[in-house]
Homo-oligomer: A and B are copies of this chain.
Amino acid sequence: MSATLAADEALARRRAAGERVLSMASGEIGLPVLPALADRLAAAATENAYGSVPGSPALRTAVAGYWERRGMPVDPDLVVAGPGSKSLLFAVLLAIGGDVIVPVPSWVSYAAQARLVGARPIPVPIRPGQGGVPDPTRLREAVADARASGRRPRAVIVTVPDNPTGTIASEATVRELAATARELDLIVVSDEIYGDLVYDGSAPAVSPALHAPERTVVTTGLTKNLAVGGWRTGVARLPDGEPGRALHTRLVAVASQIWSSPPAPVQAAAAYAFGEPPEVVERVAASRRLHETVVRAVAARFTAVGAKLHPVAATCYLYPDFEPLRDHLADAHGVHDGDALAALFSERYGIGVLPASAFGEPGRPLRIRAATSHFYGETAERRTAALEAADPPALPWIRESVDRVGEALADLTGRADLAGLAGPADLTGAQVPSALAPHP
């Protein structure tokens, strides 16, 4: 079971039972649908034909335009749409065959999907701060070892920008990964679902498709930039050239046997979104600003208590490392690893986070992933207000969540004096606030 989806469901049950829980487990984007986008879906409600397996020509043409505007033109016939980029990643792995190199840490589903298709995931650590890209040097060693022992690695997955670390691998790292993949004859599967959520517009994430165009499959979707995860819509960009076209043929065959075609009404709305009219561009920009301000506010709470954190450059994720606090966590809470740390967040503070182990990290790292995308409000009104606010962390409901994280961290680390520091809100008075009481 997907760890993020399982965590979300567990938190939803607790909330339904009356508990005051704060979800930082899944990266589901808690924002409303852009009204113009919902209108497009509603207008397409009478569309009921299967249509083309890889998606309608209108959708594939719009997606090709989306990539062309990012310096990655593509023949619309090499675009494949599916019910979510997750589904496409699964089908791509099935169509490629062979074992799969996954970065460590990386999104919960890559390794699980590899196992489901009968492949073995081969974990390769990232370089510090270069989230989502297996260290090319260690990639070379791991593939040599795997091949020496009779395994058949055929693909390497990368995530730019990265989940869970919120970092973006540098162009140098991506270029080196691309060259190594070519040297090792690996297909690069580049998950770029966070591509539009890079905070600094002058420093976009670099796709391996620019450096190894003949062997890179790119996937993205509307789940993260337009908050329509529940619509299930993703797209893949296949490489040109004979091997890429052969892979396209296999991918479409797999798609035809698993899901037939993406939901037709959603395709119509997605074609509009990938066309990026001004209102869509504005909404994505507003979401990006919102994520950035809230992530920065929360990041400050983690660093204030001494957790280490690579600067978050994209997404709505923080991946703090409590290693500097290892002794205190052991002494005060009997916590020796990320799993126990995540359990403590959940049980003592009612805050759902995921441990490093969910992202494939071995050993006993004191790392967790915390997503801020559920902070924007429980109602459409609040969420819209969050999108429109000049200073979102100053909104009372967002401030409350950020403060709650700060208070939990202060209690956790025995630094109650720091609870209110480095955030937009100050805690006055020396009393431990009620939110610090152990969670029922």
Tell me the smallest distance from the CB of A27 to a CB of chain B, in Å.
11
A159 on the B face (CB < 8 A): no
Chain B residues in 8 Å Cβ range of A87: 83, 258-259
In the bound complex, CA of A228 to CA of B230 (Å): 19
Please report the C-alpha to C-alpha distance between residue A50 and residue B252 in the assembled complex, in whole angstroms.
25
Question: For the complex, what is the distance from the CA of A225 to the CA of B267, rounded to whole Å?
Answer: 23
CB atoms of B48 and A9 under 8 A apart: no
The verdict on A53 contacting chain B, using a C-beta distance below 8 Å, is yes
A154 interface residue (CB < 8 Å to B): no
* Copies of this chain present: 2
CB distance from A228 to the nearest CB of B (A): 5
Of A34-42, A70-78, A277-285, A348-356, the segment with at least 4 beta carbons within 8 Å of chain B is: A34-42
Asked whether A116 lies within 8 Å of B90 as measured between CB atoms, the reply is: no
Report B-chain residues with C-beta under 8 Å of the C-beta of A38. Answer: 45-46
Q: How big is the A interface, by class?
A: 35 or more
Residue from B43, B86, B94, B263 within 8 A of A260 (CB atoms): B86
Asked if B260 and A50 sit within 8 Å, CB to CB, the answer is no
Contact, CB under 8 Å: A256 / B49: no
CB–CB B230/A51 < 8 A: yes
The CA of A261 and the CA of B9, in the complex, are separated in Å by: 12
Contact B231 A264 (CB under 8 A): yes
The verdict on A47 contacting B258 (CB below 8 Å), with A5-B53, A83-B263 known, is: no
Q: How far is the CB of A158 from chain B (nearest CB, A)?
A: 19
Nearest CB in chain B to that of A264: its residue:
B230
List the B side residues contacting A228 at CB < 8 Å: 48
Q: Considering the complex, give the chain B residue whose CB is closest to the CB of A94.
A: B116
Q: Which of B53, B230, B258, B265 is A49 in contact with, Cβ under 8 Å?
A: B230
Known: A5-B261, A42-B42, A87-B259. 11 other contacts (CB 8 A): A2-B260, A9-B52, A28-B50, A32-B48, A42-B43, A45-B45, A48-B228, A48-B231, A51-B230, A83-B259, A84-B260
Listed by A's residue number, 25 A-B pairs whose Cβ atoms lie within 8 Å are: A5-B50, A5-B53, A8-B50, A9-B52, A28-B49, A28-B50, A39-B45, A41-B45, A42-B43, A48-B229, A48-B230, A49-B230, A83-B83, A83-B232, A83-B263, A84-B259, A84-B260, A86-B260, A113-B257, A116-B258, A117-B118, A118-B118, A231-B263, A258-B258, A265-B266
Residues of A within 8 A of B (CB): 1-2, 5-6, 8-9, 28, 32-33, 38-39, 41-43, 45-53, 83-84, 86-87, 90, 94, 109, 112-113, 116-118, 227-232, 249, 252-254, 256-266, 380
